[in-house]
Amino acid sequence: MHTTSFRLLFSLAWLSAVLPACMPQTLDQKTPVATPKMAQRSNQPLGTLQRGRSLYIAHCGRCHEHQIPASVSSADWHIVAPGMAWNAGLNQSDERAVLSYLLAATSD
């Protein structure tokens, strides 16, 4: 009976190692939809986060892949976002909306 559970564990480990490579993440997975929960946690209006997400999708994947917001820490987003907003030609209000979205979607 030990053999069976070992086999199951082994195939699960194999699947989790191989599946992500076969299924590249879609844009929706990489850029999580802004939720009321995110708005509450980050203390930003939901509309701002939704606008920030649209701007992020439209402008921030032009020169490189979209970075998963949670893969960058809040501190690093504060450092990176202004330069990248300049790269993307965003005005100040759009820059703030994108940063609000990125911070809200970053878990730390």
Q: Give min distance, CB of 91 to ligand HEC, in A.
A: 12
Cβ 98 vs Cβ 69: under 8 Å: no
> Closest Cα partner for 107 from 81, 79, 68?
68
Return the number of the residue (39 or 102) whose C-beta is nearest ligand HEC.
Answer: 102
Closer residue to ligand HEC (CB): 13 or 70: 70
Place of tokens 């990176």: 80
By C-beta, is 49 or 85 nearer to ligand HEC? 85
Report in angstroms how near the CB of residue 47 gets to ligand HEC at its nearest: 19
Between 39 and 84, CB nearer to ligand HEC: 84
Structure tokens at 23: 């299924």
Cβ pair 82, 95 in contact under 8 A: yes
Q: Which residues bind ligand HEC (CB under 6 A)?
A: 59-60, 62-64, 67, 72, 80-81, 84-85, 87-88, 90, 98
- Please state the closest distance from residue 64 (CB atom) to ligand HEC, in A: 5
Q: Is the dihedral of CA 85, 91, 95, 98 positive or negative?
A: negative
